[in-house]
């Protein structure tokens, strides 16, 4: 018999329930009011009292209303049909809901029970399997969706039977497994998994080392991220966090893209819903939405429940990783999630930490980021979840707790700078403040040496040094004036500007410049570094700026031209002529 309870206290969407039996942390319950069941999650247990956060408006709820505990955690339904769906944080299919405003207590099935899937068996009778092993697969929007042994299964199982190839519904039995005690277990295409618990059914989780190409030069060339890596993008309002995330989502070499709109509710989310279905996937030629999952925190859901969408999105990402796929997960913005944690912590009257955030904020963020990663599956195949979140620090203060806590665990730090955004230097990533710790890993150095060459990382370090020296000269010119510093200083500054305009800046609206393959990035990096290594002769500082503007203009025209075409080579030839004008013999 399930545990029952009564409402004892109400503070917004935090409700105190007196239970008549055992209750578990993160257990789901339903509060019954006026004929409507309101879904809630247990966030704290104190004796017979359970503190639950309600995922709906609690208007009309009163003391004494009945509560029914379900005995299971907040979980997602996993199976074919997830791709291209628009979910809320509870995995309700938003496209199945009617009206502009979602009806309270209205919950939908995340999958379509009646769809027929063309099943192909991968296992056979007599095979020994364990959790996450592949029993078969179906084609889901051009991707191989593997049907796996449920993650909750423990130990070894023997396959008694697997259905023949053919069309089946997700709830049809596709395999029968026998455990060590001889008990038979029926397996369908559907399984459930609690969102707060990581899926760990894999053989090994090594340190990631393979470069994840995003097509964004300031990331791939300057501070690269890897498959299964973690990064975050902090920056004040208007610096381009969401636009940068969208660009990475469209262009990165990932099989699946999962977007968690856990904080933004305005034009950013609207753009995702309206733009993604219309975009062509540059990798497959199909629609980008076909390999995308959107988990949005809807306006009907209280702000304190924002963490549901983050954890739901991560669990879906881990599920597809277990199929041997490369998953890219983007969260916008984790600051809103942290603020939701602060709100609930304050309502629970817990001891506050810095800026009233929970004392365990760093641990919560660290545990979540740790769920990303590159893994080797039981069959030797590999899969990955690469996670990039955005942080919206109040007033652009990068010393606030959420940014500092995230900085401790994320390996890549892409700091957006207000002054660069104001100067229309997009992406507005500060090349000096930002970093990638993957550049320090020997495994990554070996991978890059085989992929591109052993001089790549040395060139990156030298490039950063040139940018830093250029910034120092810029500050001196601002103080002393143009004629107050030697001509050599002006040359040093303009060489850093060549790097900025040609490598760091990128036009997201140009069909060529918006996405730069790694081979082209290497070519342009060598071209720019060659200019930086060249000695030039000038009579006065007035000549320096006008000359380097011509150099930058030709290099940018090369960026806008298809790689190695006649047009590209024409601009390159013109560039060589310009360089020879002032080059020291």
Does the annotation list 383 as a binding residue? no
Q: What is the largest CA-CA distance in the chain?
A: 91
Of the CA atoms within 13 Å of residue 481, those in its CB half-sphere come to: 2
**Cβ contact 88:39 at 8 Å:** no
Closest CA to 294 of 311, 313, 278: 313
Does the annotation list 58 as a binding residue? no
Does the annotation list 239 as a binding residue? yes
- The C-alpha atoms of residue 525 and residue 578 are separated, in whole angstroms, by 18
Taken as a whole, the chain contains a residue count of: 585
Quickly list DSSP for 477-536.
Answer: HHHH-GGGS-HHHHHHHHHHHHHIIIII---TTSTTTT---HHHHHHHHHHHHHHHTS-B
**Cβ contact 319:385 at 8 Å:** no
| Exposed / middle / buried, residue 574 (Cβ in 10 Å: 0-12, 13-18, 19+) | middle
Does the annotation list 237 as a binding residue? yes
Pair of tokens at residue 87: 């979910």
Neighbours of 418 (CB within 10 A): 15
SS3 call for 20: coil
Q: List, edge to edge, every strand of the sheet that includes 143-148.
A: 143-148, 134-140, 117-121, 166-168
Does the annotation list 481 as a binding residue? no
- The C-alpha atoms of residue 313 and residue 296 are separated, in whole angstroms, by 9
Pair of tokens at residue 217: 């030069």
- The phi, psi pair for 414, rounded to 5°, reads -110, 90
Does the annotation list 534 as a binding residue? no
Distances, alpha carbon 485 to alpha carbons 398, 477, 534, 584, in Å: 33, 7, 20, 21
Quickly list DSSP for 191-260.
Answer: EEEETTS----SSB-----SB---S-HIIIIIS--BTT-EEEEE--TTSSHHHHHHHHHHHSS-SEEEEE
Does the annotation list 241 as a binding residue? yes
- The phi, psi pair for 431, rounded to 5°, reads -70, -20
Pair of tokens at residue 162: 């697997």
SS3 call for 584: coil
Does the annotation list 235 as a binding residue? yes
- Residue 361 DSSP symbol: H
Query: Residues forming the annotated binding site?
Result: 235-242
Annotation: binding site for ATP: 235-242
């Amino acid at each position: 018999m399930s545990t029952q309870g009564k409402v004892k206290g109400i503070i917004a969407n935090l409700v105190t329930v007196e239970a008549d039996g055992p209750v578990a942390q993160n257990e789901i319950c339903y509060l019954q009011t006026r004929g409507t069941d309101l879904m809630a999650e247990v966030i704290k247990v104190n004796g017979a009292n359970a503190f639950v956060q309600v995922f709906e408006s609690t208007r009309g709820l009163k003391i004494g209303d009945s509560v029914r505990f379900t005995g299971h955690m907040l979980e997602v339904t996993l199976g074919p049909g997830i791709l291209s769906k628009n979910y809320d944080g509870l995995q309700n299919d938003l496209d199945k809901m009617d009206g502009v405003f979602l009806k309270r207590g209205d919950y939908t099935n995340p999958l379509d029970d009646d769809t027929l899937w063309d099943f192909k068996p991968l296992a056979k009778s007599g095979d020994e399997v364990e959790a996450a092993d592949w029993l078969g697969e179906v084609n889901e929007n051009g991707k191989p969706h593997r049907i796996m042994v449920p993650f909750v299964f423990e130990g070894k199982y023997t396959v008694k039977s697997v259905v023949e190839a053919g069309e089946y519904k997700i709830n049809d039995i596709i395999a029968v497994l026998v455990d060590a005690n001889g008990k038979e277990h029926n397996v369908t295409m559907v399984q459930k998994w609690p969102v707060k618990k990581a899926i760990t059914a894999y053989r090994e989780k090594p340190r990631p080392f393979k470069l994840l190409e995003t097509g964004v030069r300031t990331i791939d060339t300057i501070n690269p991220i890897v498959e299964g890596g973690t990064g975050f993008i902090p920056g004040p309002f208007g610096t381009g966090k969401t636009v940068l995330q969208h660009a990475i989502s469209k262009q990165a070499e990932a099989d699946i893209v999962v977007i968690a709109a856990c904080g933004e509710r305005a034009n950013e989310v609207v753009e995702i819903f309206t733009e993604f279905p219309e975009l062509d996937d540059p990798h497959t030629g199909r629609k980008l939405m076909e390999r995308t999952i959107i988990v949005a925190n809807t306006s009907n859901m209280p702000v304190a429940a924002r963490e549901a969408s983050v954890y739901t999105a991560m669990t879906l990402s881990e599920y597809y990783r277990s199929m041997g796929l490369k998953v890219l997960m983007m969260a916008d913005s984790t600051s809103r999630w942290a603020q939701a944690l602060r709100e609930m912590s304050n309502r629970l009257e817990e001891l506050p930490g810095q800026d009233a955030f929970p004392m365990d904020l760093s641990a919560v963020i660290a545990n979540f980021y740790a769920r990303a990663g590159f893994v080797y599956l039981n069959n030797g195949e590999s899969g990955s979840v690469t996670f990039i979140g955005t942080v919206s620090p109040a007033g652009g203060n990068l010393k606030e707790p959420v940014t500092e806590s995230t900085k401790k665990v994320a390996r890549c730090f892409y700091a957006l700078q207000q002054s660069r955004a104001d100067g229309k230097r997009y992406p507005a990533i500060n090349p000096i403040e930002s970093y990638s710790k993957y550049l320090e890993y020997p495994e990554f150095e070996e991978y890059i040496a085989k992929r591109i060459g052993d001089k790549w990382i040395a060139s990156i370090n030298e490039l950063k040094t040139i940018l830093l020296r250029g910034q120092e000269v810029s500050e001196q010119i601002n103080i002393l004036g143009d004629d107050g510093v030697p001509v050599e200083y002006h040359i040093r500054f303009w060489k850093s500007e060549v790097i900025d305009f040609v490598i760091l800046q990128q036009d997201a609206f140009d069909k060529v410049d918006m996405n730069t393959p790694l081979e082209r990035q290497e070519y342009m990096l060598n071209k720019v570094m060659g200019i930086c290594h060249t000695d030039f002769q000038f009579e006065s500082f007035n000549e320096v700026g006008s000359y380097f503007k011509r150099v930058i203009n030709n290099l940018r025209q090369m960026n806008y031209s298809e790689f190695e075409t006649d047009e590209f080579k024409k601009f390159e030839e013109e560039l060589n002529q310009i360089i020879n004008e002032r080059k020291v013999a």
